[in-house]
Amino acid sequence: MSPPTISEPSFGSNIIEDKRSDGYWVETFHFDKEDPVPGIITSGLVSGEIEFIDNPIAVHAASEKAGTNGYHNPEVTQPWTKHLIGKFDSPVAVVACDITKNGLMDLIICHTYGPFMLKCDMAGGWVSWLENPGRDKLGDGKWKERKIGRWPAMHRMKAGYFTQKSFLEVVAASVVRGEADKVSPIMVMC
């Protein structure tokens, strides 16, 4: 029996945004668990801006569900809308999860990293939560921010149920133990 033939995919490109000042992170983001397609979360190390770029297909579906658009238009070709939802000193990793369990995806961000790993900010490494306010308040500015904790040079995170099944946990790891320290072991924290 011969292996199945796998067709070669083709790739294309579309410009979603063309005036970014800087970029570091891109994350798929379902604003609401009901969204048929995701939007995108972007961040920049230099600008510090966390932005939600809303997919026009999701916007259209949400307005139809709420009965606010007055007509049905299945062909959605509007531009993607950008919303500044947070601003931090040197944001690094971004994780999307529903912390409040209300069907809206929130964000966890590690930030205040420092200029580079061997000059990490020893008072930084913050992990913060941005609470999704809902689509009806999306244009009202930055999302409510809460601090979760910190460790210098915090660099990567994942959310899940790692040690139990009752509440969401965040696993986080720094890139180095501290300033100018590439040899000491780091901790992976939950």
Among the listed residues 90, 86, 89, the one whose alpha carbon sits nearest the alpha carbon of residue 50: 86
Beta bridge partners of 119: none
155 is annotated as an active-site residue: yes
H or E stretch covering 130: strand 126-131
Catalytic residue among 30, 60, 111, 155: 155
Q: Give the integer Cα–Cα distance in Å for 147 and 135.
A: 23
Identify whether the C-beta of residue 53 lies closer than 8 Å to the C-beta of residue 42: yes
133: left (phi over 0), alpha (psi -120 to 50) or beta: alpha
Q: Give the integer Cα–Cα distance in Å for 174 and 189.
A: 9
Count CB neighbours of 44 within 10 A.
18
How far is residue 1 CA from its own chain's centroid?
45
Beta bridge partners of 149: 127
Residues taking part in catalysis: 155
